[in-house]
């Protein structure tokens, strides 16, 4: 059964974090009151200073802070204390790797024992779901009033792909096919409007299917840094050439770290890091996408066998795990250019793309 109460608590917590309000995350005996560094608003002067922060393992490694809790897993978030109280600007410099070159000297810090790894990890999940940098200020219980309360396990209920349903469908003639239908999905677990375009007339043949993750820069602005725009158009053309096909337009911008964090990753790429290193340095997984959303969209469309257009074997594996049979993988190779060559090389060499 989908966890409705958990999803509601998570949605409220994410909303509060985006507004700069403190939240409380609890887990059994432990609780932590925290605000996202990026949006934190301090209502009173006394609340504006802080000396404890929760940061990602990757960020701690970059700042050369060793997790001092012997039992902690190497990728567990790290709690730090600064010598001097910090204001929001100084806290942001600790949180954001983009400022490292301009502002290399930070600290000294002490790593504190992490009372609850589960709470710390829940905070990291909420930051990613909110599209915020995964860095938090620990607030004093007596100085702030939390605006949302959530348990660590509720954080994991957010985005539960099972809560998806078809909300609207309509004919949508497009440039590559006059017989296309758009199907929009709604989920109460997040506020993302995922969409499918069913191209052509459904028949007994296996559909060509493309899972396309949102890329504002590539899809809309013609960015040359990635292959998304050309892949989108190539896929639509392939679907009209075949008898029919289904394009899923998944609202997982930046491999699900959100547009702003993706642009932060671009800033790091301008400094020399590749797409994988940039994600990791920001404190995110290399690929944070949840393909169960795609699985459930296909099931709601009564599509359970596909010819999948992708170069990414991980997409094939994740669809199969969800119960969709990938009868064939159809490569989707688009021309490279001087701006996306390194990105494509990294996909081939580090994330197993067959390019």
Ligand X SMILES: Nc1nc2c(ncn2[C@@H]2O[C@H](COP(=O)(O)OP(=O)(O)OP(=O)(O)O)[C@@H](O)[C@H]2O)c(=O)[nH]1
Is residue 310 part of an annotated ligand binding site? yes
State yes or no: residue 218 binds Zn ion (CB under 5 A).
Answer: yes
Partner from ligand X, Zn ion, none binding residue 346, C-beta < 5-8 Å depending on class: none
Residue 237: which residues within 8 A CB-CB, separation 6 or more? 176
Compute the distance between CA of residue 239 and CA of residue 286 in angstroms, rounded to an integer. Answer: 29
The edge-to-edge listing of strands for the beta sheet with 180-187 is 164-171, 180-187, 195-200, 244-250, 208-213, 305-309, 325-330
Q: Classify residue 17 as exposed, middle or buried by CB count within 10 Å of its CB (0-12, 13-18, 19+).
A: buried
Verify whether residue 281 is a known catalytic residue: no
State yes or no: residue 228 binds Zn ion (CB under 5 A).
Answer: yes
Find the binder of Zn ion among 9, 61, 226, 326 (CB under 5 A).
Answer: 226
Q: How far is the CB of 347 from ligand X (least distance, A)?
A: 6
Partner from Zn ion, ligand X, none binding residue 318, C-beta < 5-8 Å depending on class: none
Is residue 255 part of an annotated ligand binding site? yes
The residue from 160, 287, 307, 318 that is catalytic is 287
Q: How far is the CB of 217 from Zn ion (least distance, A)?
A: 6
State yes or no: residue 215 binds Zn ion (CB under 5 A).
Answer: yes
For residue 169, the Cα-to-chain-centroid distance in whole angstroms is: 27
Verify whether residue 345 is a known catalytic residue: no
- Nearer CB in complex with ligand X: 23/215: 215
Is residue 315 part of an annotated ligand binding site? yes
- Nearer CB in complex with Zn ion: 265/301: 265
Give the binding site for ligand X (CB under 6 A). Answer: 211-215, 226, 228, 231, 252-255, 257, 262, 265, 275, 279, 310-312, 315, 332, 347, 353
Compute the distance between CA of residue 321 and CA of residue 296 in angstroms, rounded to an integer. Answer: 12
Please say whether the dihedral angle defined by the alpha carbons of residues 246, 251, 256 and 259, taken in this order, is positive or negative.
Answer: positive
Is residue 50 part of an annotated ligand binding site? no
Q: How far is the CB of 154 from ligand X (least distance, A)?
A: 26
CA distances from 311 to 92, 237, 332, 345, 352 (A): 37, 17, 6, 13, 9
Compute the distance between CA of residue 130 and CA of residue 153 in angstroms, rounded to an integer. Answer: 17
| Neighbour count for residue 56 (Cβ, 10 Å) | 26
* Residues carrying an active site annotation: 287, 289
| Annotated binding-site members for Zn(2+) | 215, 226, 228
| Annotated binding-site members | 210-215, 226, 228, 231, 253-255, 275, 310, 315
């Amino acid at each position: 059964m989908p966890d409705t109460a958990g999803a509601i608590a998570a949605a409220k917590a994410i909303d509060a974090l985006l507004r700069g309000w403190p939240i409380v995350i609890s887990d059994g005996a432990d609780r932590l009151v925290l605000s996202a560094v990026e949006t934190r608003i301090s209502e009173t002067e006394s609340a504006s200073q802080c000396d404890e922060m929760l940061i990602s393992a990757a960020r701690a490694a970059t700042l050369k802070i060793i997790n001092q809790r012997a039992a902690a897993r190497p990728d567990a978030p790290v709690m730090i204390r600064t010598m001097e109280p910090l204001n929001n600007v100084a806290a942001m410099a600790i949180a954001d790797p983009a400022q490292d070159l301009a502002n290399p000297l930070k600290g000294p810090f002490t790593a504190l024992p992490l009372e609850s790894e589960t709470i710390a990890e829940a905070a990291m999940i909420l930051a990613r779901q909110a599209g915020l940098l995964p860095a938090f200020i620990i607030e004093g219980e007596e100085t702030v009033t939390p605006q949302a309360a959530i348990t660590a396990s509720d954080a994991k209920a957010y985005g539960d792909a099972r809560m998806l349903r078809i909300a609207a469908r309509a004919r949508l003639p497009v440039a590559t096919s006059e017989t296309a239908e758009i199907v929009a999905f709604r989920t109460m677990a997040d506020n993302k409007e995922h969409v499918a375009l069913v191209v052509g007339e459904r028949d007994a043949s296996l559909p060509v299917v493309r899972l396309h993750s949102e890329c504002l820069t590539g899809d809309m602005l013609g960015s040359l840094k990635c292959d998304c725009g050309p892949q989108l158009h190539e896929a639509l053309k392939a679907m009209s050439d075949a008898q029919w096909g289904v394009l899923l337009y998944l609202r997982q911008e930046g491999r699900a770290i959100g547009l702003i964090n993706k642009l932060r990753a671009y800033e790091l790429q301008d400094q020399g890091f590749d797409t994988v290193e940039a994600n990791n340095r920001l404190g995110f997984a290399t690929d944070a996408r949840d393909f169960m959303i795609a699985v459930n969209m296909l099931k709601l469309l009564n599509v359970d066998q596909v010819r999948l257009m992708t170069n990414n074997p991980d997409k094939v594996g994740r669809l199969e795990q969800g119960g969709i049979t990938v009868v064939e993988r159809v490569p989707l190779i688009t021309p490279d250019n001087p701006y996306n060559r390194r990105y494509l090389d990294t996909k081939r060499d580090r994330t197993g793309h067959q390019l």
